């Protein structure tokens, strides 16, 4: 039996050796995931690169695009997966989540006059307009009370393609506040301040469930999840994240 298992492992490594894995990444989510002069960069890009360097059988190719398109590509099985989605139950119909990679905290961004005397979210923000990145799920940006506030139109939502576009809407008064990760760059938006915490999420790789073109998927998931776990334990992921956050 041991010989058979060993043979299967050898055959598996041979069959999948040198496979290039295409992952769709958010091109407008610095410092986590972005494209600069056509080059994939960011915290998740560096983490995923390092993870794949520890797996002999696979190489990774990044295809950076708008977040909404990355979702569509993954749903259709046109890429192996996308990054870095937060978990929502509705997405499990078309994606399988990797081992959690990194903890992110969403907060409120707004001008001082909007943030003043506001301590309870979302209640203190009723009647205002929030900007969210197009394709971002309301359920992961805030908790249940925020979802209800949007559903019952107590808070109005406007969407923009990227961080800078939402921040620009807040600057111009088109939106009153913005919700995104606490470490996004505010360069060029000195009038906008970081406010209170909204929610803590975990970022992942989301693998497509359309696996007909990817017979190696189970092997890839197993190896990548194992490597990510080890990288979290030995501090490699935290080290990468801190390098980017120090620069902000």
Burial of residue 114 (number of CB atoms within 10 Å: 0-12, 13-18, 19+)? buried
CB 154 within 8 A of CB 127: yes
49: tokens are 């690169």
Q: What is the pLDDT of residue 246?
A: 75
Strand order in the sheet with 129-133: 156-160, 129-133, 177-181, 102-111, 192-203
pLDDT in tens, 41-56: 999 999 999 999 999 9
In angstroms, the CA 202 to CA 7 distance is: 37
Q: What are the boundaries of each domain within the chain? A: 2-101+204-246, 104-201
CB 225 within 8 A of CB 98: yes
Q: What is the pLDDT of residue 146?
A: 96
Q: In CATH, what is the architecture of 104-201?
A: 3-Layer(aba) Sandwich (3.40)
Q: What is the pLDDT of residue 41?
A: 97
pLDDT in tens, 214-235: 999 999 999 999 999 999 999 9
pTM of the predicted model as reported, rounded to 2 decimal places: 0.84
Homologous superfamily of the 2-101+204-246 domain (CATH): Periplasmic binding protein-like II (3.40.190.10)
Banded pLDDT at 248 (limits 50, 70, 90) = low
Banded pLDDT at 5 (limits 50, 70, 90) = very low
Q: What is the pLDDT of residue 11?
A: 47
Checking if the pLDDT of 4 tops 60, the result is no
pLDDT in tens, 84-105: 999 999 999 999 999 999 999 9
Residues 6+ apart with CB under 8 A from 174: 129, 131, 158
Q: How far is CA 164 from CA 32, 83, 167, 221, in A?
A: 14, 20, 5, 34
pLDDT in tens, 116-145: 999 999 999 999 999 999 989 898 899 999
Q: What is the pLDDT of residue 13?
A: 47
Query: Greatest CA span in the chain, whole angstroms?
Result: 70
In angstroms, the CA 88 to CA 193 distance is: 28
Q: What is the pLDDT of residue 245?
A: 83
Average pLDDT score, the chain? 92
What does the pLDDT average to over 196-224? 97
pLDDT in tens, 140-165: 899 999 999 999 999 999 999 999 99
Cα of first residue to Cα of last residue in the chain, in angstroms, is 55
Instruction: Give the whole-number percent of the chain exceeding pLDDT 70.
Output: 92
Checking if the pLDDT of 8 tops 60, the result is no
Q: What is the pLDDT of residue 17?
A: 53
CA-based torsion, 87, 59, 22, 46: positive or negative: positive
Checking if the pLDDT of 27 tops 70, the result is yes
Among the listed residues 214, 17, 59, the one whose alpha carbon sits nearest the alpha carbon of residue 9: 17
Residues 6+ apart with CB under 8 A from 46: 240
């Amino acid at each position: 039996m041991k010989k058979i298992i060993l043979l299967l492992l050898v055959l598996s490594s041979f069959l999948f050796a040198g496979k290039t894995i295409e992952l769709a990444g958010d091109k407008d989510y610095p410092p986590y995931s972005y494209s600069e002069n056509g080059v994939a960069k960011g915290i998740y890009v560096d983490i995923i690169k390092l993870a794949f360097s520890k797996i002999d059988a696979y190489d990774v190719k990044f295809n950076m695009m708008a977040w909404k398109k990355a979702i569509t590509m993954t749903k259709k099985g046109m890429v192996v997966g996308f990054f870095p989605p937060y978990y929502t139950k509705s997405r499990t119909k078309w994606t399988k989540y990797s081992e959690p990679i990194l903890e992110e905290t969403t907060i409120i961004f707004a001008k001082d006059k909007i943030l003043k005397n506001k301590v309870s979210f979302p209640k203190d923000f009723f009647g205002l307009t929030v900007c969210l990145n197009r394709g971002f799920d309301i359920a992961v940006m805030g908790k249940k009370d925020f979802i209800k506030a949007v559903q019952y139109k107590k808070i109005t939502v406007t969407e923009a393609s990227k961080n800078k576009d939402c921040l620009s809407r807040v600057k111009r008064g088109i939106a009153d506040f913005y919700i995104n990760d606490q470490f996004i760059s505010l360069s060029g938006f000195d009038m906008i301040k970081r406010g209170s915490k909204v929610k803590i999420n975990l970022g992942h790789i989301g693998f497509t469930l359309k696996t007909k073109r990817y017979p190696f998927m189970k092997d890839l998931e197993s190896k990548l999840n194992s490597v990510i776990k080890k990288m979290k334990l030995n501090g490699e992921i935290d080290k990468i994240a801190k390098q980017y956050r120090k620069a902000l």
